[in-house]
Amino acid sequence: MSSDDECIAHLRLRKKIRLQYPGACSLEFQSLMQILIETLFNWDMKNQRPKGPGIFGTVVAFAPVDEEQGRNTLQHHMQIWVKDVDQKLRRELFDEDMIKRK
C-alpha cells in the first residue's frame, strides 16, 4: 500500500471511530484544550488563576466555547483578557508587513 493509500485508510478509520465514540472524542478534545491552556496561558486550572505570564502576557480571564462542525469535528473559540499586553507583541501581530506579523 502506498503512503497516500495508508493516509486515506487511516483518515477513514479515524472518522469511523470518531462517529462511533463521540463522547470519547469530546473528552480527548477537552484534555487537549486543558493542556494548551495550562501551557500557553500559564494558567492554574485547579485554582483558576494565572501562574504568571504566558504567550500573550498574564491572562486574567478567558471564555472558551466549543462547537461541533457539520463534519462531526469539534472546534474551539476563545476570548482572552490579558493584563498588561506586551506592546511589542501587539505591534508585531498587527503590523502591515506580513513578515513581521509571522
In this prediction, residues 17-32 reach a mean pLDDT of 85
Domain around 37: 3-101
Mean pLDDT for the stretch of residues 37-63 = 93
Contacts by 99-102, CB closer than 8 A, 24 or more apart: none
- Torsion over CA: 82, 86, 87, 88 (sign): negative
Residue among 46, 44, 66, 64 at smallest CA distance from 54: 44
User: What is the model's pLDDT at position 17?
Assistant: 85
Q: How many Cβ atoms are within 10 Å of 15's Cβ, its own excluded?
A: 13
pLDDT of residue 50: 95
Higher pLDDT, 54 or 88: 54
Q: Check: CB of residue 93 under 8 Å from CB of residue 55.
A: no
Structural domain total, the chain:
1
